A = this chain, B = another copy of it.
């Protein structure tokens, strides 16, 4: 190891040392007939001795396998100067007050080419340096809550976020924006939807699929849309603000319990599932897309229920799954299991005894569908009817991810499994849509619920 070349060892280290290359330099790798150029970046400590990682001009990192005959040339020294944030623009005191809370993730980051680390950019002055337009929308206060990649998010962080949002709302802001990594932003949006009840003002989660130093970054526009919504939107709900399409025309606001990341890389990765999005932001205008929302009301008293019980699991069913998995969870002290079943809410009959044992021991078992779109209906086939009869809770059109979050939240509200089941079936934050009848004209006399078995 060489401290100028973190992560490099063996042959890769030798070639780089011979070339006099350091992290941040523009290097050229010549390998047989292939020539690659890019900025040398550090490697993982788990890495092997045969690869060099460079950031190519498009912004992507690639790993290049080297052999003893590979040649490395140092084209030019570190090209990126240290980042010096410009002075923030002047605050305009007549504007609404909005808090921006930082949690880490792409939107709050610049890649530091020297260390390869993702570096938070969340002081007010640094944020303004990226998006000075924010000063024309609101008087911004920022707070860095923590700085993690969103795949490292846990229910404990949901509680910290909920408590921080409550604190900022009680200080009298017109709205709160949370900058969040996109990987688990859907889960966090659901968590805040349950934890922050009776909201007086909007709480907008916002992310970016490309970091701010990439030409195709969506960070600035998403943030402008989020702050616009936080300061002036007519609704007081938890929502997610991201690009509506791959173009920069509009930002769409998804209800926190109905949103899911549905693409690994596109800027319009987030989609509202089984519902209509809340609103659209185009420029400085906000267009509501539904009449069904809680209106903004600064006098409303926020109710904070920030706790989650992590003794809950999400199990995606698949052919060949072993029922012992359920027994293992039960013996490990889990109190709730969300099954991501097939179709209308099914798992194989071989799992029935394990499910029955779990329920008999007071574990709450609930059913969502891995189809993602549509709703579970466990009255159509005998499999579903038997599961209902055992006490499995049908979750309607709730997303599996939202269902897991809700299970953790319900388990923290009560120790009584029957009360957990009742809460799961209660629409707390728009997570269960009104029943949509797509194909049938129900007979006039029918008022029963299909999942009322």
Contact = CB atoms under 8 A, between A and B. Distances in A.
Contacts of A94: none
Contact of A57 (B59, B150, B443): B443
A60 B379 contact: yes
Interface in A299-329: 308, 310, 312-322, 324, 328
B151 A342 contact: yes
A346 B183 contact: yes
A55 B218 CA distance: 51
A85 interface: no
Interface in A103-142: 116-118
Interface of A: 34-37, 43-48, 51, 53, 56-65, 116-118, 149-155, 157-158, 182-184, 187-188, 216, 246, 261-266, 269, 308, 310, 312-322, 324, 328, 332, 340-350, 356, 369-377, 379-383, 385-386, 388-390, 401, 404, 408, 438-443, 445-450, 452-453
Contact of A264 (B264, B328, B369): B369
Contacts of A187: 318-319
B269 A44 contact: no
Nearest to A347: B151
- Name the prevailing secondary structure of the A interface residues: loop
Contact of A450 (B60, B404, B448): B60
Contact of A63 (B322, B343, B452): B452
Contact of A443 (B56, B157, B310, B450): B56
Given A183-B343, A320-B155, A389-B46, A452 B35 contact: no
Given A318-B187, A385-B43, A438 B265 contact: yes
A36 B448 contact: yes
Contacts of A390: 46
Contact of A53 (B35, B349, B379, B443): B379
A442 B264 CA distance: 19
B51 A453 contact: yes
A153 B381 CA distance: 15
A441 B390 CA distance: 56
B265 A152 contact: no
10 smallest beta-carbon distances between A and B, as pairs: A63-B453, A264-B374, A46-B389, A183-B342, A58-B440, A151-B346, A183-B343, A44-B389, A263-B373, A47-B389
Contacts of A385: 43-44, 47, 53, 61
Contacts of A381: 118, 149
B373 A450 contact: no
Contacts of A377: 60, 264-265
A262 B62 contact: no
Given A61-B450, A385-B43, A443-B37, A319 B154 contact: yes
A264 B46 contact: no
25 contacts: A34-B448, A35-B445, A43-B389, A46-B390, A47-B385, A56-B446, A60-B380, A60-B442, A61-B379, A63-B453, A151-B342, A157-B319, A187-B318, A216-B440, A262-B372, A263-B374, A264-B344, A264-B369, A264-B371, A264-B376, A269-B373, A310-B320, A318-B401, A322-B332, A324-B332
A55 to B, nearest CB: 10
Nearest to A109: B381
Given A381-B118, A439-B216, A64 B320 contact: no
B349 A152 contact: yes
Given A264-B343, A324-B332, 5 more contacts: A36-B445, A56-B442, A118-B381, A149-B382, A264-B375
